[in-house]
Amino acid sequence: MKNMKTLATLGLACSIFLAACGGADGNTSAKTSEGLSGSVAGDGSSTVAPIMEAIVEEYAQAEKDVKVSVGVSGTGGGFEKFIAGSTDFSNASRPIKDEEKAKLDEAGVDYTELKIANDGLTIVVNKENTWVDSLTVEDLAKMWAEDGSAKKWSDINPSWPAEEIVFYSPGTDSGTYDYFNEVVLEDADLVKSATLSEDDNVLVTGIKGDKNAIGFFGYAYYESNKDALNAVLIDGIEPNAQTIESGEYTPFSRPLFIYVSNDAVKEKKEVRNFMEFVIDNSAEMAEAVGYVQLPEADYEEGRKALDSLK
């Protein structure tokens, strides 16, 4: 498999657009389909973006006449486009919400949920931060919940510096934001001083530049920037492939999803072909970009779900 582009290129544009660029790579699972052409459109989670970029790049070599475009509007923003019917599939770093289900039902959009990888939401600090090693979920709640005060490191531990904490968070359209809010803040308001961005690379850059910074995003973004960032242990557990796969890295181990339009799969051969390629290659691509592959049974379940859409 050819080298992946660096994850730092993600988010510099509003969307990922990779056109076909040659013959099929010998390591891809799908064969070139003669006569297949058209376009496939997706949008959604920036957390899912690294694995999707890798898949689209490999697919472009297998299917030179199918163009796949994938925007990065965040999980919520992606669902808005999916509901509006402007995309064939939507990437998500959290399960679909009840209100999103209702809107899709109202719009007449039937969909199928596909799991493609496991992620561990990772809390990170600047490399020069020598005082934080491990935090509890309670520490995070105290730190990140808005209470009208200027938060200092010494508020969490009196032996830490009496310097203000600088917060970086995914934006409100992000599924990672929603997940953190639910698990840590229990729907309390996020600290108002936080810098928010749907582009995880903006968060990475900000945290790299300030020793008092703390932030969170998908594990793959930490993996590609571990030379400049430290991952914070949660209750003494380090985020890594083993603890994420086992669920030991709790409560931040989570699956990543694709939601695809049933009609698009049924009516557009290129959408079906691309989704089959996604399922067949997600395990390998997950490992390549720093996420954790699912058990094979989960991918087989995805194949059966697609096969049922005849």
> Percent of the chain beyond pLDDT 70?
89
Q: What is the pLDDT of residue 9?
A: 38
Among 22-36, 81-95, 173-187, 292-306, which is the least confidently predicted range?
22-36
The mean of the pLDDT values for the chain is 90
Calculate ∠ Cα 26-48-174, nearest 5°. Answer: 165
Token pair listed for 121: 């939401």
**Residue 34: per-residue pLDDT:** 66
CATH number for 120-253 (one of 3.40.630.30, 3.40.640.10, 3.40.190.10, 3.30.110.60): it is: 3.40.190.10
Give 175-232 pLDDT, tens digit per residue.
999 999 999 999 799 999 999 999 999 999 999 999 999 999 999 999 999 999 999 9
For the cut 90, the answer to whether the pLDDT of residue 296 exceeds it is yes
Q: How far apart are alpha carbons 135 and 215 in whole angstroms?
A: 13
What pLDDT score was predicted for residue 187?
79
Peptide bond into 251 cis (omega under 30): yes
Distance CA 301, CA 99 (A): 26
Q: What is the pLDDT of residue 28?
A: 42
Q: What percent of the chain has pLDDT over 90?
A: 87
* Residue 20 scores a pLDDT above 70: no
What's the whole-model pTM score? 0.85
**3-state helix, strand and coil shares in percent for the chain, rounded to the nearest 5:** 40, 25, 40
Tell me whether domains 7-118+256-307 and 120-253 share a fold: yes
Which CATH fold would you assign to the domain 7-118+256-307?
A: D-Maltodextrin-Binding Protein; domain 2 (3.40.190)
| Domain regions of the chain by residue span | 7-118+256-307, 120-253
Please state the rounded mean pLDDT for residues 39-59: 96
- Across 83-102, b (16+ Cβ under 10 Å) vs e yields beeebbbbbbbbbbeeebee
Query: Per residue in 114-126, pLDDT tens?
Result: 999 999 999 999 9
Phi, psi at 293, each rounded to 5°: -70, 155
